Chains A and B, each alone.
Chain A
Amino acid sequence: DAKTTQPTSMDCAEGRAANLPCNHSTISGNEYVYWYRQIHSQGPQYIIHGLKNNETNEMASLIITEDRKSSTLILPHATLRDTAVYYCIVRPQGAQKLVFGQGTRLTINP
């Protein structure tokens, strides 16, 4: 499985955009990038996924570099409720299981 590297922790001011980076330099051409988050003690929550084009939904935007070696999850207007651990996951084709790393602990400050 392709490995991902994320910063251990980040801080962001409430109302600002939170940009969470992820490196996945060994990603294969048919592997998708998924983002999940886990708010304290709750089950993980799906956020977004993409292959090579940028993606946007009601929760976030996903920017994938042209060489696909890295990506950025953007929360456009962070709120206190966005404080969570964010996991960037590379999912191999045909694999059903999710392989979670340590993630980034994002803290939104008032």
Chain B
Amino acid sequence: NAGVMQNPRHLVRRRGQEARLRCSPMKGHSHVYWYRQLPEEGLKFMVYLQKENIIDESGMPKERFSAEFPKEGPSILRIQQVVRGDSAAYFCASSGGTGRFDEQYFGPGTRLTVT
């Protein structure tokens, strides 16, 4: 049973470019979460999605960041016009959404470096 998959594992972008981070949830999971971990800091929630719907985006920066989870395919976190401050590890988690407090399973993360 494959776990949560993220790719790429490492991504280097120049300032002003776009970054696309992909997350495939565990088999059977329909809930996806994105978290960001800045260097030497804790993880911060960004956005929670179900298939084709954004449920909670309270942690998303207001500009340049967007997320989607289409009916088919992985969830995508998109960062437009990246800046050096976007350099961080981005983790995706998934859950089955079957219980009130179902566990979230995390992927290995994508490490974004903006040069």
Contact = CB atoms under 8 A, between A and B. Distances in A.
Contacts of A99: 45
Given A43-B4, A44-B91, A102-B42, A97 B59 contact: yes
Contacts of A38: 43
Nearest to B59: A97
Give the interface centre of A41, A93, A101 by most chain B CB atoms within 10 Å.
Answer: A41
Given A96-B31, A97-B45, A100-B44, 17 more contacts: A38-B43, A41-B89, A43-B4, A43-B106, A43-B107, A43-B108, A45-B106, A49-B103, A91-B101, A96-B48, A96-B56, A98-B33, A98-B104, A100-B35, A100-B42, A100-B43, A103-B42
B100 interface: yes
Interface residues of B, number: 26
Closest 3 pairs (CB-CB, A-B): A43-B106, A97-B45, A100-B43
A43 B91 contact: yes
A44 B106 contact: yes
Q: Is the interface of B mostly helix, strand, loop or mixed?
A: strand
A96 B32 CA distance: 10
Nearest to B55: A96
B109 interface: yes
Interface in B27-45: 31, 33, 35, 42-45
Contacts of B109: 41-43
A87 B37 CA distance: 14
Contacts of A93: 100
Nearest to B42: A100
Nearest to A103: B42
Interface in B57-115: 58-59, 89, 91, 93, 95, 100-101, 103-109
Contact of B103 (A43, A46, A100, A103): A46
B16 to A, nearest CB: 27
A49 B102 CA distance: 10
